[in-house]
Chains A and B, each alone.
Chain A
């Protein structure tokens, strides 16, 4: 048995007009929560579809759970939540779930028992109402999303793949999803999810891979990535909007390489050789009130912007994610 749930080596996928994935190699450790990060059109969905054997790479090899991705026996051990969600609208919730479970090789009786416990866990079955007996289109959007999570996890997969799982979720469902991911990790499952929201990834993931234009930009554990991006970042919070003097200091290229301006909060990346103390002194000299001044490791968001930049998003490539 290998230590990796997913091993991709030099995978390539070309379409008529563009290359969706070029020479991608990555390793997802067993039991990790792994983030696949990248702007829209970077090749995330194509990568996920190749992992799922929905499409085949033009070149390269993909091994899942120690076997080639074309091995049909592994599909029963994978749970997949696609980016665009939907279920058979006219079908009863319970029947949809049973159908999805049977597609994963479960028998109807085992499925029924699990469906009940999952419906209860997600508040879809309470003392006064069993939504399992309703049709899908009688459910609210949030409830439909819960049903789809259940469908993804019902067969207790070893590998869970979630494509943009947080998009379109209300805060309550987003929290439920986060809790579920953490719970899966504690039970030794591997979770891989794609997102372009870095804050989510930073909080949940053990490791990430950032891809742009179909290529890997960087990958590794969150800690290693942050470590390698040094300690040249400063978190600066002011008690009010910045004066024009402060703005001038922050746009001084000899001192500041880059700044993420959130009005009263700034994430500042110092220029090479610049001293954090001189920045602090110059800002204080303007008379500004500083609420926070801290040397920090860069956020994933900063690293992403730095490494991918605005050019990472190729125009007109959003069709395949």
Chain B
């Protein structure tokens, strides 16, 4: 036990002392901070560029709809925002006017143009062409402006006083969504998704990074032949266990530091955002119960042990970095396959795919925490998932320990799978 501690301590301290660890630990929160601040800055920037004076409205309705749209667009904007230019066109000249406008967009005289015609008046279609056609926010704003204008036109047609029409139709409606789980309301839906995505991504990244770290540690001991000195003092299983525990400890330390600073930055985001001249976004930290946090930690630990045991076996079976890159491919395949499904499962966390992936031992350490962060998962599914990974951990460490203790002392050519299978059968 004392020797296991000696090895764990060395693995932990030597890694925490490296520049790499310090840099990653400091830059992590800066990176997360950027994730919060940059979108806010972008939003602010795009707001100021929402100058629709560069947008041309081609009005072929002959009913003055174009002017109404222009008013709708500029209404509710910050004061001084210029209205878009309105060009009245006869329905027959529309094609000509459109091609002129296209040229003007190409020559950067205007940023885009909107065509209001009979179909628009009917409330069926409105066409827009321009450089910002892919900006979802801009397009949504145009659509609601046109909708507002058409509605106003119809109300007027129904004999309602035009000054009242303005008040009736003005409606800057915003959708705010709340998530409801078995336990009741659980904060904003968007926040949950972001949180779950961050959790899954962090788990994925940490397992890959620290799994590689275990592999490099094993390889270093093998190539420098330190391994031989160490295994003459302790059983190779102790060395393997100490290494996994030590590196895992570094991973947990880093995550706790990241989490703590990120929460701190969330708490302090108001003054920070104000420094950048951005208003605080309506963004609340998701409520993480102690139980959930512990459960996430458990999944990280199990997933890390599973993968790092395999990484250690891979490290012991090779002699150079290049060979190691090939040897890790099976593990990378499993991890990347899991990561690919993070997005679809974020969108649809109750699908069969999500359930299956959260139960399979190789993907469960990433997908189950994602589901847990998104909402409640039946307790028996969590139990099956934990039991599955725990069993897989036992199997992986048993296999890895056997490959490890033989591979550690084998130099020369890289073993074939058949040879490695034989290593497993060696008594010692």
Q: Known contacts A55-B428, A89-B220, A103-B234: does B229 contact A82 (CB below 8 Å)?
A: yes
B232 with A84: CB separation less than 8 A: no
A-B pair number, CB within 8 angstroms: 68
Residues of B within 8 A of A (CB): 2-3, 6-7, 10, 14, 18, 220-221, 223-226, 228-235, 409, 411-412, 419, 422, 427-428
A54-B412 in contact (CB<8A): no
Which residues of B sit under 8 angstroms from A54, Cβ to Cβ? 228, 231-232, 409
A56 proximal to B (CB < 8 A)? yes
What are 16 A-to-B residue pairs whose CB atoms are below 8 Å?
A16-B419, A16-B422, A53-B232, A55-B409, A55-B428, A56-B427, A75-B233, A75-B234, A80-B229, A80-B233, A82-B228, A86-B226, A88-B14, A90-B18, A100-B229, A100-B233
Tell me whether A85 and B225 are in contact (CB under 8 A).
yes
Residues B10 and A99 in contact, CB atoms below 8 Å apart: yes
The answer to whether B428 touches A82 (Cβ under 8 A) is: no
Q: Given contacts A103-B234, A105-B2, are A91 and B14 in contact (CB under 8 A)?
A: yes
Find out whether the CB atom of A84 lies under 8 angstroms from the CB atom of B220: no
Check A52/B232 contact, CB under 8 A, given A88-B220, A90-B14: yes
Q: Are B228 and A103 within 8 A (Cβ)?
A: no
C-alpha gap A100/B226 in the complex (Å): 10
Question: Bound complex: CA of A82 vs CA of B232, how far in Å?
Answer: 10
Q: Which residues of A contact B228 (CB under 8 A)?
A: 54, 80, 82, 84
Q: Known contacts being A87-B226, A102-B6, is A80 close to B232, with CB within 8 Å?
A: yes
A136 to B378, CA, bound (A): 53
Residues of chain A lying within 8 A (CB to CB) of residue B18 = 90
Known: A16-B422, A91-B14. A86 touches B6 (CB 8 A): no
Q: Which residues of B contact A55 (CB under 8 A)?
A: 409, 428
Residues of B within 8 Å of A105, CB to CB, are 2-3
A104 interface residue, CB < 8 Å from B? yes
Question: Is A319 interfacial (CB-CB < 8 Å)?
Answer: yes
Q: Which residue on B lies nearest to A50, using beta carbons?
A: B428
Q: Is A151 in the interface zone, CB < 8 Å from B? A: yes
Taking the closest CB of chain A, its distance from the CB of B270, in whole angstroms, is 43
Q: Does A58 contact B (CB under 8 A)?
A: yes
A49 in contact (CB, < 8 A): yes
- Could you tell me the distance between the alpha carbons of A304 and B237 in the complex, rounded to whole angstroms? 40
Q: Are B224 and A87 in contact (CB under 8 A)?
A: yes
Bound-complex Cα distance A54 to B237 (A): 11
Chain B residue nearest to A91 (CB atoms) is: B14
**Which of under 10, 10 to 19, 20 to 34, or 35 or more describes the interface residues of A?**
20 to 34
Chain A nearest Cβ from B305, distance in angstroms? 23
> Is the Cβ of B232 less than 8 Å from the Cβ of A75?
yes
A255 contacts the other chain (CB 8 A): no
Contact residue among A78, A90, A91, A95 (Cβ-Cβ distance under 8 Å from B232) = A78
Complex Cα–Cα for A102 and B2 (A):
9
Tell me if A's interface is mostly helix, strand, loop or mixed. loop
A14 to chain B, nearest CB (A): 10
CA distance A56 to B231 in the complex (A): 13
CA distance A65 to B183 in the complex (A): 66
Closest B residue to A103 by CB, please name it: B233
In the bound complex, residues from chain A placing their C-beta under 8 Å from that of B7 are: 103
Collect the chain B residues with CB atoms within 8 Å of residue A99's CB.
Answer: 6, 10
> What chain B residues lie within 8 Å of A84 (beta carbons)?
225, 228
Beta-carbon contact of A88 and B224 below 8 Å: yes
Closest to B5 in A: A102
Of the candidates B224, B233, B234, B428, which one forms a contact with A86 in the assembled complex, judged by CB atoms under 8 Å apart?
B224
Chain B contacts of A319 at CB under 8 A? 411-412
Tell me the complex Cα distance, A78–B231, Å: 12
Q: State whether B6 touches A49 (Cβ < 8 A).
A: no
Given the known A-B contacts A52-B232, A75-B233, A86-B225, are A103 and B6 also in contact in the complex, defined by CB atoms under 8 Å? yes
Tell me, rounded to whole Å, the shortest Cβ–Cβ distance linking B284 to chain A. Answer: 44
Task: Report which of B220, B221, B229 forms a contact with A151, defined as CB distance below 8 A.
Answer: B229
Q: Which A residues lie within 8 Å of B412 (CB)?
A: 319
In the assembled complex, the Cα of A319 lies from the Cα of B319 at a distance in Å of 14
Distance in angstroms from A281 CB to nearest chain B CB is 55
Q: Which residues of chain A from 52 to 91 have any CB-CB distance to chain B below 8 Å in the complex? A: 52-56, 58, 72, 75-76, 78, 80, 82, 84-91
Q: List B contacts of A75 (CB < 8 A).
A: 232-234
Q: Other than the known A53-B232, A104-B233, what 18 A-B pairs have Cβ atoms closer than 8 Å?
A: A16-B419, A16-B422, A54-B228, A54-B232, A54-B409, A80-B228, A80-B229, A80-B233, A86-B224, A86-B225, A87-B224, A87-B226, A88-B14, A88-B220, A95-B14, A103-B233, A103-B234, A319-B411
**In-complex Cβ contact of A49 among B220, B235, B409, B411 (8 A):** B409
A95 to B11, CA, bound (A): 12
Q: How far is the CA of A319 from the CA of B226 in the complex (A)?
A: 18
How near does chain A come to B246, taking the closest CB pair, in angstroms? Answer: 12
Alpha-carbon gap, A151 to B220, bound state (A): 18
Please measure, in the bound complex, the distance between the C-alpha atom of A205 and the C-alpha atom of B225, giving whole angstroms. 27
Chain A residues contacting B223 (CB-CB under 8 Å) are 86
Distance of A49 Cα from B411 Cα, bound (Å): 15
A54 to B235, CA, bound (A): 8
For B409, the chain A residues whose CB sits under 8 A away are 49, 54-55
In the complex, chain B residues whose CB is within 8 Å of the CB of A76:
233
With a cutoff of 8 Å between Cβ atoms, the chain A residues found around residue B232 in the complex are 52-54, 75, 78, 80, 82
Q: How far is the CA of A52 from the CA of B233 in the complex (A)?
A: 8
Interface centre among B225, B233, B422, B427 (most CB of A within 10 A): B233
Are A82 and B225 within 8 A (Cβ)? yes
Give A99 to B422 CA distance when docked, in angstroms: 33
- Shortest Cβ gap from B234 to chain A (Å): 6
Min Cβ gap B268→A in Å is 36
Q: Which residues of A contact B422 (CB under 8 A)?
A: 16
CB distance from B321 to the nearest CB of A (A): 14
- Which chain B residue lies CB-closest to A80? B232
Chain A residues closer than 8 Å to B220, beta-carbon distance: 88-89
